[in-house]
A = this chain, B = another copy of it.
Amino acid sequence: MKNIPYRIILSEQHIPRQWYNLNADMKSKAPPLINLDTKEPVTVDDLSHIFCKELSKQEIDTENAYIDIPDGIIDWYKTCRPSPLVRAYALEKELDTPAKIYYKFEGNNTSGSHKLNSAIAQAYYAKSEGITHLTTETGAGQWGTALSMACSFFGVELTVYMVRGSFFQKPQRKTVMQVFKADVIPSPSNLTSSGRAMLEKLGEDTSGSLGCAITEAVEHAVTHENTRYVLGSVLNQVLLHQSIIGLESKKAMELYDEYPDIVIGCVGGGSSFGGLIAPFMKDKIEKTRNPYFIAVEPTSCPTLTRGKYAYDFCDVGRITPLAKMYTLGNGFIPSADHAGGLRYHGMSPIVSKLYDDKLIDEARAVEQTSVFDAAVKFSRIEGILPAPESSHAIKVAIDEAEKCRKTGEKKTILFCLTGTGYFDMSAYSNYLESKMINYVPKNEELQESFDKIPKA
Report B-chain residues with C-beta under 8 Å of the C-beta of A152: 379-380, 383
* A226 within 8 A of partner (CB): no
Using a Cβ–Cβ cut-off of 8 Å, how many residues does chain A contribute to the interface with B?
Answer: 44
| Cβ contact within 8 Å between B429 and A171 | yes
Measured in the bound complex, the distance between the Cα atoms of B372 and A179 in whole Å is: 10
Task: From known contacts A7-B12, A149-B383, infer whether A429 and B175 are also in contact, taking CB-CB under 8 Å.
Answer: yes
* A376 within 8 A of partner (CB): yes
Measured in the bound complex, the distance between the Cα atoms of B382 and A179 in whole Å is: 13
| Cβ contact within 8 Å between B6 and A11 | no
Which residue of chain B has the shortest Cβ distance to A108 in the bound complex? B108
Smallest Cβ distance from A364 to chain B, in angstroms? Answer: 25
Measured in the bound complex, the distance between the Cα atoms of B149 and A181 in whole Å is: 33
Report B-chain residues with C-beta under 8 Å of the C-beta of A289: none
| Cβ contact within 8 Å between A383 and B181 | no
Task: From known contacts A78-B6, A380-B152, A383-B79, infer whether A179 and B432 are also in contact, taking CB-CB under 8 Å.
Answer: yes
* A446 within 8 A of partner (CB): no
Partner among B153, B175, B425 whose Cβ is within 8 Å of the Cβ of A428:
B175
Q: Which of A359-387 contact B (CB under 8 A)?
A: 376, 379-380, 382-385
Measured in the bound complex, the distance between the Cα atoms of B149 and A384 in whole Å is: 9
Q: Which of A172-205 contact B (CB under 8 A)?
A: 172, 175-176, 178-181
Report B-chain residues with C-beta under 8 Å of the C-beta of A176: 385, 422, 425, 428
| Cβ contact within 8 Å between B383 and A78 | no
For this chain, the copies found in one complex come to 2
Q: Which of A257-271 contact B (CB under 8 A)?
A: none
* A109 within 8 A of partner (CB): yes
Measured in the bound complex, the distance between the Cα atoms of B430 and A178 in whole Å is: 12
Report B-chain residues with C-beta under 8 Å of the C-beta of A379: 110, 152, 179-180
Which residue of chain B has the shortest Cβ distance to A429 in the bound complex? B175
Partner among B11, B90, B108, B380 whose Cβ is within 8 Å of the Cβ of A180:
B380
| Cβ contact within 8 Å between A78 and B425 | no
* A136 within 8 A of partner (CB): no
Measured in the bound complex, the distance between the Cα atoms of B76 and A175 in whole Å is: 33
Complex interface bits, A67-90 against B, C-beta within 8 A gives 1, otherwise 0: 000000001101110000000001
* A9 within 8 A of partner (CB): yes
Task: From known contacts A110-B420, A383-B109, A422-B423, infer whether A178 and B11 are also in contact, taking CB-CB under 8 Å.
Answer: no
Task: From known contacts A5-B11, A380-B152, infer whether A428 and B385 are also in contact, taking CB-CB under 8 Å.
Answer: no
Q: Which of A224-240 contact B (CB under 8 A)?
A: none
Which residue of chain B has the shortest Cβ distance to A180 in the bound complex? B380
Partner among B79, B181, B432 whose Cβ is within 8 Å of the Cβ of A175:
B432
Measured in the bound complex, the distance between the Cα atoms of B427 and A375 in whole Å is: 28
| Cβ contact within 8 Å between B380 and A181 | yes
Measured in the bound complex, the distance between the Cα atoms of B12 and A425 in whole Å is: 31
Measured in the bound complex, the distance between the Cα atoms of B384 and A5 in whole Å is: 26
Report B-chain residues with C-beta under 8 Å of the C-beta of A420: 110
Complex interface bits, A101-140 against B, C-beta within 8 A gives 1, otherwise 0: 0000000111010000000000000000000000000000
Smallest Cβ distance from A400 to chain B, in angstroms? Answer: 22
Report B-chain residues with C-beta under 8 Å of the C-beta of A109: 383-384
Measured in the bound complex, the distance between the Cα atoms of B381 and A149 in whole Å is: 9
Measured in the bound complex, the distance between the Cα atoms of B441 and A65 in whole Å is: 64
Measured in the bound complex, the distance between the Cα atoms of B178 and A379 in whole Å is: 11
Given contacts A6-B12, A110-B385, 4 further A-B contacts (CB under 8 A): A5-B12, A76-B383, A175-B426, A422-B423
Sorted nearest first, the 3 A-B pairs with minimum C-beta distance are: A172-B425, A6-B78, A175-B425
A binding-site residues for B, Cβ under 8 Å:
1, 5-7, 9, 11-13, 75-76, 78-80, 90, 108-110, 112, 149, 152-153, 171-172, 175-176, 178-181, 376, 379-380, 382-385, 420, 422-423, 425-426, 428-429, 432
Could you list 8 examples of A-B contacts with CB < 8 Å?
A109-B384, A110-B379, A152-B380, A152-B383, A171-B425, A176-B422, A179-B428, A181-B380
